Every structure is written in C-alpha cells, then in structure tokens.
C-alpha cells in the first residue's frame, strides 16, 4: 500500500482496511508502505502472498506485479499485461474498439496546442484525461474551445499522453466484478458537476443507488459489456468497470479499475454488501479468486 503516486492517500486507506480485515480473520499480516526498498521488505518479512492495495502508477500498471512474478510471490488481481493495459486508457480503448465494445469516441493528443479542427469530429463537451492515472486525477470536462488548453496542460502535468473523448450525457454507473460474475450495478449521483476525486472520496459528496435505476434489459446489457471488457483486457479475480448509460439507454464502457478502492465505504465493497457479503468476506473471496 502507499507508494508515491497521486493516489497514495487512498491507497493507504485501502491497505489499512484490508490489513485490519485480515488481522480480524486470524491471518499473519504485514503492512508494507512501498518505497524503492520494497524488495528488501518482501524478503525481510518472508511474504508468501501479496494483497495489492497500490493504486495508480507503479502499483496498478503491472510494475509491482512484474516484480512479484520475478520473486515468485503470488498476488491479488490481474497480471502484468492486463494491469498495464487497463491502466493505459489509450491501449484499453484500442482493444475495446477492436472487440466491438461501445466506448466514447476518442483521440490521443501528443502536442500541447490544439486548433479547433484537431478534435476530428468530437463535439463539445469533451473529457480530457491523462492516459495513465486513476481516481479521476487530472480529468476535466471541457464545455467549449476556450477552456481546452488549460485542461490539456492540467492533464499533461501528470502524463505525456492525453486522451480526449466524447462526453456521454446520462447516468454514471459502475459494475463490480468478483471472480467471473458481476455484482449489483451501482448508480452514482455526484453532488458536484461530475464524479471527480472529491466526489469519490469525500463522505456525502455523492449518492449511490443499488441497484442502479435501469430497465432490466439495460442492466443486463451493462453487466454483459462490463464482463466482456474485463475479459478483453485479460483481467482476472476482481475489478470494477466504470460506465455511462446515455439518454437512449445505451451503455458505454469508460475504463477498468484492476485495483479498485477497498475502504469499507468504497464502491466494490458496497456492491458486495448488497448481496450480503461482508467486507471481511469480500477480502477473503478476492484472495480465493486470485489463487484459482
């Protein structure tokens, strides 16, 4: 847990909750706040299984997974390639397009300055994102041309590659996945303009509705697409697929979180709890699915 990405604070909260759950279940647990000496810690504490609570770069992008593979230590969640693909929104969207998975129209930006015709048919509003960040860090919704450059600079501070995609008007939903099944769909209603970092992690900043207010066929279509996207990237064990459902009831896949937040009030535990799966039970099920 921890590390040095922009998501360090949330990672520590996720790791702390998992640490406490495993202690309560009687396991011998060590909490490692990751720094450049992580290999020394793994050897010192003789770790034989790693529960990954590292969000963002170096934790969710295949880096630490590759390290653990080299050391022969099994770990939770997706492997090296799937983690890297899911973390890089550009490569994930290329695969979604190739697999026929509905995802908002998008372009990649490599230069800082844009002219109006650079958007290649995308119409405002658009969403500007750094390619390799999570937790909506560095993301802006741009309503008009004059706000575009500042949004790009904001994203560029966090990643060399910037993704610009069509904004889908409609409902924000998320689909948790545990093993090979989806959990009940959550509809998210942020109190701010969109589901940003503050809305995600500040208590009371967003409202969650379980199950989401969707027609049955739309809910099934959303769950099916979430699983298809999850498997298209080669993800395994558990995760969360963020989506939107437009005003015509068409679901769109935005991105996949291979190490979703795991505090006791996070979305994945909330979805599991709606099925009667406690936080501690969820932690154990994630380990079981990761070992299968």
List active site positions. Answer: 7, 135, 201, 240, 242, 255, 257, 261
Question: Looking up tokens 């769909």, which residue turns up?
Answer: 185
Residue 269 sits at φ, ψ, to 5 deg, of -60, -35
- Asked whether the beta carbons of 153 and 260 are under 8 A apart, the reply is no
- Asked whether the beta carbons of 188 and 211 are under 8 A apart, the reply is no
**44: CB partners within 8 A, 6+ apart:** none
> How many beta carbons lie within 10 A of that of residue 144, not counting itself?
9
CA–CA distance, 239 with 256 (Å, rounded to integer): 7
Closest by CA to 292, choosing from 45, 48, 142, 74, is: 74
């Amino acid at each position: 847990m921890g590390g040095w990405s922009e998501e360090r604070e949330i990672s520590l909260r996720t790791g702390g909750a998992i640490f406490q759950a495993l202690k309560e279940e009687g396991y011998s647990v060590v909490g490692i706040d990751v720094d450049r000496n992580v290999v020394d810690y793994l050897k010192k504490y003789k770790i034989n299984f790693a529960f990954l609570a590292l969000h963002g770069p170096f934790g969710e992008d295949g880096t630490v997974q590759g390290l653990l593979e080299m050391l022969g230590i099994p770990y939770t969640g997706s492997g090296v390639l799937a983690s890297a693909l899911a973390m890089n929104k550009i490569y994930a969207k290329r695969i979604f397009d190739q697999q026929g998975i509905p995802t908002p129209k998008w372009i990649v930006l490599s230069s800082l300055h844009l002219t109006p015709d650079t958007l290649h048919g995308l119409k405002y509003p658009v969403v500007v994102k750094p390619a390799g960040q999570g937790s909506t860090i560095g993301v802006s919704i741009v309503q008009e041309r004059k706000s575009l450059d500042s949004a790009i600079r904001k994203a560029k501070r966090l990643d060399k590659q910037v993704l610009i995609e069509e904004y889908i008007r409609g409902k924000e939903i998320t689909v948790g996945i545990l093993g090979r099944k989806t959990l009940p769909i959550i509809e998210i209603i942020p109190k701010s303009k969109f589901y940003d970092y503050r809305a995600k992690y500040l208590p009371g900043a967003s409202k969650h509705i379980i199950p989401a207010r969707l027609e049955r066929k739309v809910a099934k279509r959303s769950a099916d697409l979430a699983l298809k996207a999850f498997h298209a990237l080669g993800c395994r064990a558990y995760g969360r697929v963020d989506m939107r459902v437009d005003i015509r009831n068409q679901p769109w896949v935005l991105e996949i979180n291979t190490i979703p937040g795991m505090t006791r009030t996070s979305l994945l535990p909330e979805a599991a709890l709606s099925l009667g799966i406690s936080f501690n039970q969820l932690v154990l099920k994630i380990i079981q699915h990761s070992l299968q």
